[in-house]
């Protein structure tokens, strides 16, 4: 009898919740921070050794071509992930953020569009990506890789109705979430 009561108190709907995790963000943006740190260290070394302001300006102009876009993309992904939740249930996927809540039925999802950086280019943001789930009515859920990587979607048992056959890849130089 006791075990019957315990079973009745368990939630009947299983769900997996993906939300902002500081460690995941740090790990996935480490290349950006290493490059920014290198820029600061090299600038300090140039000033300390008195090499000249021309070298300092040249170095910072060159490294800023890499660090500034990287920081812009990092901030963009962070803004879309910070207060967001993605909830996967057997029949639905729900995105919750401070301004809206969108629920898509898994059976209605017709396309998974993966926006990823150009892998051949060795820039700090080459591994940034995001994907959007599109249903029959044109509703979309946009997901940054800070919240959930595309491989996590394929591996999650509750999203088995959303499969890799629906995947459309778009290679972009700057993977900003629009």
Does residue 177 surpass a pLDDT of 90? Answer: yes
> If we measure between CA atoms, which residue out of 147, 130, 40, 131 comes closest to residue 86?
147
37 or 127, greater pLDDT:
37
Q: Set out the domains of the chain in order of their start, with CATH numbers.
A: 16-173 (2.30.29.30)
Question: What's the pTM value of the predicted model, to 2 decimals?
Answer: 0.82
pLDDT value at position 45?
A: 92
Find the mean pLDDT for residues 112-124: 80
Does residue 6 surpass a pLDDT of 70? Answer: no
Confidence of residue 121 (pLDDT cuts 50, 70, 90): low
pLDDT value at position 94?
A: 96
Pairing of strands 92-96, 85-89: antiparallel
């Amino acid at each position: 009898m006791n075990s019957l009561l315990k079973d009745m108190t368990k939630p009947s709907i299983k769900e997996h919740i993906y939300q902002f995790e500081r460690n995941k963000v740090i790990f996935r943006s480490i290349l950006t921070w290493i490059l920014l740190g290198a820029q600061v260290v090299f600038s300090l070394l140039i000033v300390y050794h008195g090499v000249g302001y021309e070298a300092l300006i040249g170095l910072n102009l060159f490294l800023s071509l890499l660090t500034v876009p990287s920081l812009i993309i990092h901030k963009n992904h962070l803004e879309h992930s910070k207060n967001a939740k993605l909830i996967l249930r057997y029949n639905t996927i729900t995105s919750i953020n401070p301004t809206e809540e969108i629920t898509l039925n898994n059976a209605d999802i017709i396309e998974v569009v993966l926006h990823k950086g150009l892998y051949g280019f060795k820039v700090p943001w080459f591994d940034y990506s995001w994907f959007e789930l599109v249903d029959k009515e044109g509703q979309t859920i946009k997901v940054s890789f800070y919240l959930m990587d595309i491989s996590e979607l394929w591996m999650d048992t509750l999203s088995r109705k959303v499969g890799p056959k629906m995947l459309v890849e778009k290679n972009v130089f700057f993977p900003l979430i629009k």
